[in-house]
Structure 1
């Protein structure tokens, strides 16, 4: 790694790898992944060439929403292990030169959390105001028209106290009241607990939700809603999300994280680009290091769309900010399922050569594609509550395939979700042996990125190109590289930037060793530019 690359903070030059613990590796034969399973497979993660691991929630939970309903913010769910197992995993991560980010869930807790149990016990309990309680509307009924992201009203009546509590997601996930200073202090103490334990930062769940508008007014109706769209889209979430007061808490999170040194905060924020940029804060009062950018997931996969969104996003980043990119997660359909395996290879090239920090999702490195979940195997509450809407997330949470042995080496018993249908040939062991595999492509890309200041930190310039061709230059000092991606099904000619000639191919999806100015369908190249 060059001196220029090493001088930058790791979260700028590095790559994050997301692990969904239930589905990575099962060490104890219950069909569910765990911390010891992750520890046993760390060499695979390290061999990819990534810099940090983000773990989806591992905290004690009734698992109504598979860990995003937290019952204890400073413990470990027994099905995953315990605090000693976490400490062993963290030590093993650090021993391999990697960092570990935890999933911090500040908007809501489980209704089984002791805080909520106290809160609902009576109207005058000291923790009543730790959550958002309201009387029924005059004449009875819901306090306002807010809709849960899981469908149905965002309010649940507690018959004992006669008030409703707010739940942005499932009724088992009660929203915390961040306007109560005691809540803000308690949750900041949670972050401090894990930072003291040695974690390197957090991915912050639904960060833009944490503060609600004073008075909880009705959200305006969405004039564009129609049958077939998710129920939550019936209203525009003007008053239930993205309130200006939330930024003060984000600045406090950043100050705490920065006080521990080389840490990082990644914010989950689904907002239009102009509002997303506010979550960077200012140079004097910064927000999260990386407000997640989901534009490669949310938009069509074609050259014109991608070129426009890349240019617009890069131009919108404030001077003190740093871009980031993602093509897959535990909430989105697999990239290979969305665009096919050939284009998924092109997508890997795009993700790992754009300016900014990439986040990889487990299983994308072996090209897991479409997984049909039989009705009797569906586990996702979002899918069960709104069937037939295509909202199911199980499809992206299926187990990792390690080899061709029973249950793909994931477990000694049937996994909690089905494996992808081609797991006997699409697994880590098989792709280790195939130089043309998706896994080997990811490793080449990550090695190239690590070795190249132009790819990891350099500036980016989009170039005019033939139809279906997305082309851009990355430059740092004297190093100039051209990235050429064919998003179409026909071969194309590529014109190099003026006064340059092609040098060696740094990495490619194909097998050619020299670049001759042509690119086949569904291919991509990173080419050295010489004067």
Structure 2
């Protein structure tokens, strides 16, 4: 969970790969450490929006079971679900009231067991979201904690007695006034909430809290889950003196809230208590704001976390101005270089906390939506690291167009609107930005077919279906050999069948070209050239490598304009991967 401006890193706990260089500077197969989680592709599902099986307008576990064969057909082998626990839904399940129960809207524990079994029967792994920076204020722990100052659960949360005066200002992501301390008259104290008022922060400095979390993780690991995604985890360790912070610090929130004093010891403790005892991995949201901080969490000898999933790329589009390709190249090249010899990274450009992939990084106009979606998926699936694909991006789902704040469901949008209004901001500009960047854009129901509600539900969907579902849907694309969906499947297959696209060395080409992103991937004696046009017009690049093409492996157009001098001219949003001669 995060606001539109929250930079995030996800990290996966597993063995790290130490990369060496051969005398030819190309990686050799004998020098890589193969792992299934490196070679897999993660498919993220927002359960509320994927498939409704009972007509209440809300996606559920049985609906996901119905669509497992579809997911399997994509070629992916890992599924990450956003939270499915019991919750009052102040933040769509990221406010948990019972960590050992399933949200009634999603189904029962029996449904969960059936889903997990069905996934495993299809050789797919399951990643469970664990929200432990905070709980719901309706969790029994918090009810007890706020009941009296001497309650045994009092220190499960962060409290500031009012007789000490109002606590120093701390900023909150989701509060309509931007304040992270909430006064509670029952015990004449303030409690801390970095997110919604209904999401009080847990006190990780209390060893009892940490043990509660480890026991929760063990409960699900015993059930057979294959991994955990730890939400907002970089915030769990706090300076409990809560000092006054410099003015404007919220503009660099990770520096002041993230990577607290005891975070590393907590991670090592979690590894000892849980992760090392089960055949699981952990994906953790949050790893600071520098490469050094990421490595301090992910390097194998630290026994903490080892796969960095950074948000620096996805956060390039946090305004109406969009992004520059030069910056995208810089970010992804920097992270690849840093992790080329130690550790492992993830590759993604979308998830439940941002707007749609093609609307932000491509071109969602009818003319270019398909080709630009194919181009972006080619990029995601041809970089070194583990790709994370967000549901609907395999068919090119786009942003939805809301005209009024009343249509939004996301607490970040609703409370952000209230805050902007109270501060006298330009509300027309605010709404324009919200329309483009809102998290609700990425949460609209999956578009399965052209029937009522896009085949998502027989009832009224909890969030409106995008009006373009008649033309953008799974059923129509399955029948079209040239569709985004079928291209996506081919690209996943190409990656799975060519370890060079997973483990191979990455080299940026034509760094200064403003329109084209080109690079090679090399492993043993195999070398591939990837060339991507990020513009809506023909673009050219001079590449000596293009004189040495042996075969075109994938192309989102029918042909490739390559002259004998090594000049490639790509059509709008063209994406090509070629095998180069030895």
Matched, 1:108 2:140: no
Cα offset, 1:237, TM superposition: 5.4
Taking CA–CA contacts closer than 8 Å with sequence separation of 6 or more, which of the two structures ends up with the larger relative contact order? 2
Matched, 1:320 2:342: yes
**1:277 corresponding residue in structure 2:** 294
User: Contact 2:300–2:306 at 8 Å: present in 1 too?
Assistant: no
**2:496 corresponding residue in structure 1:** 450
Candidates 239, 242, 267, aligned match of 1:250: 267
When residues 281 and 501 of structure 1 are mapped into structure 2, their CA distance, relative to the original with a 3 A threshold, is closer
**1:410 corresponding residue in structure 2:** 456
After TM superposition, the structure 1 = structure 2 runs for residues 143-182 of structure 1, keeping only pairs within 5 Å, are 143-151=167-175, 152-182=178-208
Provide the rounded CA distance (Å) in 2 between the counterparts of 1:276 and 1:451.
34
Structure 1 window deviating more from structure 2 (403-412 vs 373-382): it is 373-382
Candidates 249, 255, 265, aligned match of 2:282: 265
User: Contact 2:238–2:261 at 8 Å: present in 1 too?
Assistant: no
**1:347 corresponding residue in structure 2:** 376
**1:371 corresponding residue in structure 2:** 400
**1:362 corresponding residue in structure 2:** 391
| 5+ long unaligned stretches in structure 2 | 1-28, 317-321, 364-368, 418-426
Cα offset, 1:68, TM superposition: 0.3
Cα offset, 1:467, TM superposition: 4.1
What is the TM-score when the length of structure 1 is the normalising length? 0.92
Q: Alpha-carbon deviations, 1:213-263, whole Å to 9, x = none?
A: 13111222127xxxxxxxx54x745443321311222223334223312x2
**1:226 corresponding residue in structure 2:** none
Provide the rounded CA distance (Å) in 2 between the counterparts of 1:302 and 1:488.
11
Candidates 71, 76, 100, aligned match of 1:45: 71
User: Contact 1:55–1:102 at 8 Å: present in 2 too?
Assistant: yes
Cα offset, 1:102, TM superposition: 0.4
When residues 4 and 192 of structure 1 are mapped into structure 2, their CA distance, relative to the original with a 3 A threshold, is farther
Candidates 312, 328, 343, aligned match of 1:306: 328
Aligned length: 517
Cα offset, 1:522, TM superposition: 1.2
Provide the rounded CA distance (Å) in 1 between the counterparts of 2:460 and 2:520.
47
Q: Alpha-carbon deviations, 1:464-522, whole Å to 9, x = none?
A: 26441211111111221100011123333444445961122111221227966432221
Provide the rounded CA distance (Å) in 2 between the counterparts of 1:168 and 1:12.
33
User: Contact 1:273–1:313 at 8 Å: present in 2 too?
Assistant: no
| 5+ long unaligned stretches in structure 1 | 224-231
User: Contact 1:280–1:321 at 8 Å: present in 2 too?
Assistant: no
**1:227 corresponding residue in structure 2:** none
**1:394 corresponding residue in structure 2:** 440
**2:534 corresponding residue in structure 1:** 487
Candidates 278, 285, 304, aligned match of 1:287: 304
User: Contact 2:79–2:126 at 8 Å: present in 1 too?
Assistant: yes
Q: Alpha-carbon deviations, 1:351-401, whole Å to 9, x = none?
A: 110111110100111111120234333211111111154263211100001
Cα offset, 1:286, TM superposition: 3.0
Matched, 1:521 2:572: yes
Structure 1 window deviating more from structure 2 (285-294 vs 391-400): it is 285-294
Candidates 224, 231, 235, aligned match of 1:209: 235
- Tell me the secondary structure at the aligned position of residue 192 of structure 1: helix
Runs of 4 or more consecutive aligned structure 1 residues displaced over 6 Å after TM superposition: 3-7
User: Contact 1:403–1:429 at 8 Å: present in 2 too?
Assistant: yes
Provide the rounded CA distance (Å) in 2 between the counterparts of 1:242 and 1:315.
23
Cα offset, 1:184, TM superposition: 0.5
User: Contact 2:41–2:387 at 8 Å: present in 1 too?
Assistant: yes
When residues 214 and 452 of structure 1 are mapped into structure 2, their CA distance, relative to the original with a 3 A threshold, is same
What is the TM-score when the length of structure 2 is the normalising length? 0.84
User: Contact 1:276–1:291 at 8 Å: present in 2 too?
Assistant: no
When residues 444 and 498 of structure 1 are mapped into structure 2, their CA distance, relative to the original with a 3 A threshold, is closer
When residues 222 and 204 of structure 1 are mapped into structure 2, their CA distance, relative to the original with a 3 A threshold, is same
Cα offset, 1:442, TM superposition: 1.1
Structure 1 window deviating more from structure 2 (24-33 vs 212-221): it is 212-221
Provide the rounded CA distance (Å) in 2 between the counterparts of 1:414 and 1:163.
42
- Tell me the secondary structure at the aligned position of residue 200 of structure 2: strand
**2:125 corresponding residue in structure 1:** 99
- Tell me the secondary structure at the aligned position of residue 240 of structure 2: coil
User: Contact 1:501–1:530 at 8 Å: present in 2 too?
Assistant: yes
Provide the rounded CA distance (Å) in 1 between the counterparts of 2:266 and 2:189.
28
Cα offset, 1:47, TM superposition: 0.7
**1:504 corresponding residue in structure 2:** 551
Cα offset, 1:463, TM superposition: 1.5
When residues 101 and 251 of structure 1 are mapped into structure 2, their CA distance, relative to the original with a 3 A threshold, is same
User: Contact 2:237–2:262 at 8 Å: present in 1 too?
Assistant: yes
Matched, 1:331 2:348: no
